[in-house]
Amino acid sequence: MKHRASIFLFLLVFALVLPAQEKADLEAIYRVKQEAFQNSRVMDILMQLTDVHGPRLAGSPRYRAGAEWVQKTLKEWGIEDVRFEPWGQFGRGWENKKYYAAMTEPAYMPLIGAPQAWTASTNGMITGEPIFAALREEADLAKWRGKLAGKIVLVDPPRDIALHEKADARRYTDQDLAGIATAQILPFGRRMAAPGQPRPNFLQMMAFRRKLNDFLREEKAALIIQNGRGDFGTFFTSSGGSRNPKDQQSPPAIVLTAEHYNRIWRLLDRKVPVRIEAEIRNEWYDADQHNFNIVADLPGAGKHKDEIVMIGGHFDTWHAGTGATDNSAGSAVMLEVMRILKKLDLKLDRTVRMALWDAEEQGLLGSRGYVTKHFADRATMKTLPEYDKLSAYYNVDNGGGRIRGIYLQGNDMCRPIFEAWLAPLRDLGAATVTSRNTGGTDHQSFDAVGLPGFQFIQDPLEYDTRTHHTNMDVYDRIPREDMMQMSAVVATLVVHTANREEKLPRKPRPAPRPQQGPMSF
C-alpha cells in the first residue's frame, strides 16, 4: 500500500511539474531545418558580402555600399522596416585605394602585404634602400633622431617560422565540449575583466605607439615596414594611426608576411644591397560620414508584439581580406535567419529585430552606442522603456565554424530553457550549454547592462590561425554546411524565444560603472 502511495505521489508531482518545463516546437524546428538546408541562400549572401561588398572597414564608403545592399535585399524579401541608425562619434573614415610594393634588388619579388589602417599615403612611387631601425622603446627614438628622413624603415626584428606539425584547422571534440561545459570557478577575490576596460600594458603600448608615430612623422620617414604575424603568405593587420580629426596623419606604414620581411632583413644584416619600390594610396573621409548600425524589424503578431528578440553580429571588417570569417559569416547567418522567418511566415509573438553593428573592431562601438540609446547607460545604469521589452540578444562572431552550443554568460537560469530548445538539434552537434563567459564581441554590450546577451560556441576551424584579421579572411575559408547549420540553430532559438510565454530570465542588474576617461580614437 505504501508502495502504491509513493508511486501515486511521484506521478502527481511529475504531472504538476511537467507543464512548467520548456517545450520545443517540433513542427517549427522541422520547417526551419527544411528551409535552412534545402533552400539555403546563406552562401549567396556571403558571396555578396565578401566578393562584392568586402572589405568594409568602419567609416569607409564600402561599409555604406554594403549596408545599402543589405537594405535593398531585405526589402526584396518583404521586410520593409530597415533603417540606418547613427550610434555616436567615430572619427575619420579611411580606405586603401592602391597597394604596390616590391623588392627590385638583388632580385625582383612582389611583397605580400597591405597598409595599416589610418596611415598616410606615400608621395607617389618611392624607391630606395631600406634600413633596419629597431624602435621598441623611447630610448630607441633618441638613438635614431635625425637619421630617418626620406628612408624606407624596417622597424621589427625577424621572426622564427616554425613547421606546421599540427593542422591549422580543428573542430571541437566531445572531450573539448565536455571541458567547455564544466563551470569555470575563479579563485576567491579574482574577477573577470570588465567589458571595454583596457589593460594597463595595452594603454602603455598605445601611448608609446602615439609617440612613435609622432617621431616618425617629424623625421619625415618615407615608409615604415612592419613584420606581420602569420606565415604561409598570411599576415595580420589592424590600425596604424588615429581616426581623430584633430590628429595629424600617421606616416605611411605597411605590414608584410613574415617570409618576405625576413628575407629583406637577412639581406640587410649581411650587407647585401637591397632596393625597394612602393606606392601606397589611401583616402580619408569626413568624420562620421559612413557610420551607422543596420537595423531591421520583423513585426510580432501576438500579445507580446511590443517586446523584442534581437539577433546580430558586426558588419564592419578589417581591410586586408574581404572580412569573410570576421564577420561577414555572422552577418550572412543573421540575414539568412531573417529570410527563413519571413519565407516560412511562422507565427511570432514578439518582434524579431536584426542589428548589424558598426565599429566592433574599434571596441564594440556600434553596439555599445545602440544599447546606451535604447536600453541603459552603463555608466549610470539609468534605464529606458525598451530595457524591459527585450527578451534576449543572440550574436554570431567567431568565424565560419558550426555552432556547438551556447555560452550563458553566468545566467544559469537559462540553462534548462536552452537545453530543452537545443535537444532536437543534437543531431546537428549543437547541444552544449555552459555557464562560462566569452568575450570580445557585441553580446557584451548587452550583458554589461544586465540584459540577456548570448554568443554561441563555434568550431574554431582556422579562425585564430589563418583568417582572423588577415589577408586570408576570404570566402573560400568558410564551409557551406557549417553556415547552413548555424542558420538553422539561430532561427530555432529565435522562434522559441519569440513565442515563449515569458521573456528569458535575467541576471541581477549590475551597479553603475562610470566610464574610464573619454572614448579613444
Please give the distance of CA 79 from its chain centroid, rounded to a whole number: 25
| pLDDT bucket at 21, cuts 50 / 70 / 90 | confident
Q: 422 and 303 in one domain? A: yes
Instruction: Give burial (CB, 10 Å; 0-12/13-18/19+) of 284.
Output: middle
Residue 335 belongs to some domain of the structure:
yes
Please report which helix (H) or strand (E) contains residue 212, including its range. helix 200-219
Tell me the pLDDT tens digit for each residue of 274-288.
999 999 999 999 999
Residue 183 belongs to some domain of the structure:
yes
Residue 274 belongs to some domain of the structure:
yes
Residue 521 belongs to some domain of the structure:
no
Tell me the pLDDT tens digit for each residue of 383-441.
999 999 999 999 999 999 999 999 999 999 999 999 999 999 999 999 999 999 999 99
Comparison of pLDDT for 243 and 206, the residue scoring more? 243
Tell me the pLDDT tens digit for each residue of 323-373.
999 999 999 999 999 999 999 999 999 999 999 999 999 999 999 999 999
285 neighbors 65 (Cβ within 8 angstroms): no
Residue 204 is predicted with a pLDDT of 79
Residue 476 belongs to some domain of the structure:
yes
Cα–Cα distance for residue pair 367/360, rounded to 1 Å: 7
- Residue 354, strand partner residues: 296, 311
Residue 307 has pLDDT above 60, yes or no: yes
Comparison of pLDDT for 278 and 13, the residue scoring more? 278
One-letter-per-residue 3-state SS of 489-500: HHHHHHHHHHHC
Domain boundary among 237, 267, 285: 285
Residue 200 is predicted with a pLDDT of 55
Residue 20 is predicted with a pLDDT of 53
Domain boundary among 285, 316, 331: 285
Tell me the pLDDT tens digit for each residue of 113-164.
999 999 999 999 999 999 999 998 889 999 999 999 999 999 999 999 988 8
Q: What is the mean pLDDT of residues 74-97?
A: 97
Q: 450 and 315 in one domain? A: yes
Residue 9 has pLDDT above 50, yes or no: no
Q: 419 and 292 in one domain? A: yes
Q: 458 and 413 in one domain? A: yes
Residue 15 has pLDDT above 60, yes or no: no
Cα–Cα distance for residue pair 254/260, rounded to 1 Å: 12
Residue 99 has pLDDT above 50, yes or no: yes
Residue 333 is predicted with a pLDDT of 98
Domain boundary among 250, 285, 320: 285
Residues 21-50 as b/e (b if ≥16 CB within 10 A, e otherwise) read eeeebeebbebbbebbeeebbbbebbbbbb
Eight-class DSSP state of 325: I
Residue 297 belongs to some domain of the structure:
yes
| pLDDT bucket at 187, cuts 50 / 70 / 90 | low
The domain of 315 spans 22-90+288-499
Looking at residue 52, its amino acid is V
Backbone dihedral angles phi then psi of residue 420, each to the nearest 5 degrees = -70, -40
C-alpha torsion 99→104→110→112, nearest 10: -70
Cα–Cα distance for residue pair 250/241, rounded to 1 Å: 5
Residue 521 is predicted with a pLDDT of 59
Residue 10 has pLDDT above 50, yes or no: no
Q: What is the mean pLDDT of residues 296-314?
A: 98
Residue 364 belongs to some domain of the structure:
yes
Q: 419 and 294 in one domain? A: yes
| pLDDT bucket at 183, cuts 50 / 70 / 90 | confident
| pLDDT bucket at 59, cuts 50 / 70 / 90 | very high
The total of structural domains in the chain comes to 2
Comparison of pLDDT for 476 and 208, the residue scoring more? 476
> What DSSP string runs through 232-295?
TT--B--B-S---TTSPPBPPEEEE-HHHHHHHHHHHHTT---EEEEEEEEEEE-TTTT--EEE
Q: 343 and 257 in one domain? A: no
Cα–Cα distance for residue pair 284/290, rounded to 1 Å: 11
* Backbone region of residue 262 per phi and psi (left: phi > 0; alpha: psi in -120 to 50; beta: other values): alpha
Residue 70 has pLDDT above 90, yes or no: yes
Q: 333 and 392 in one domain? A: yes
Residue 186 is predicted with a pLDDT of 58
| pLDDT bucket at 11, cuts 50 / 70 / 90 | very low
Q: 202 and 68 in one domain? A: no
Cα–Cα distance for residue pair 102/111, rounded to 1 Å: 5
In whole numbers, what is the pLDDT of the chain averaged over residues? 92
Tell me the pLDDT tens digit for each residue of 470-520.
999 999 999 999 999 999 999 999 999 999 999 999 999 999 998 743 345
Residue 196 has pLDDT above 70, yes or no: no
Residue 184 has pLDDT above 80, yes or no: no
Percentage of the residues of the chain whose pLDDT score is greater than 90? 86
Residue 208 is predicted with a pLDDT of 84
Residue 501 CB partners (closer than 8 Å, separation 6+): none
Comparison of pLDDT for 8 and 330, the residue scoring more? 330
Long-range CB contacts for residues 410-415, cutoff 8 Å, separation at least 24: 410/435, 410/437, 410/507, 411/435, 411/452, 411/505, 411/506, 411/507, 413/505, 413/506, 413/507, 414/452, 414/504, 414/505
Q: 209 and 60 in one domain? A: no
Q: 311 and 228 in one domain? A: no
CATH number of residue 490's parent domain:
3.40.630.10
Q: 476 and 384 in one domain? A: yes
Q: 354 and 399 in one domain? A: yes
CATH number of residue 176's parent domain:
3.50.30.30
Cα–Cα distance for residue pair 103/107, rounded to 1 Å: 7
Residue 516 is predicted with a pLDDT of 44
pTM score of the predicted model: 0.92
Residue 191 is predicted with a pLDDT of 47
Residue 483 belongs to some domain of the structure:
yes
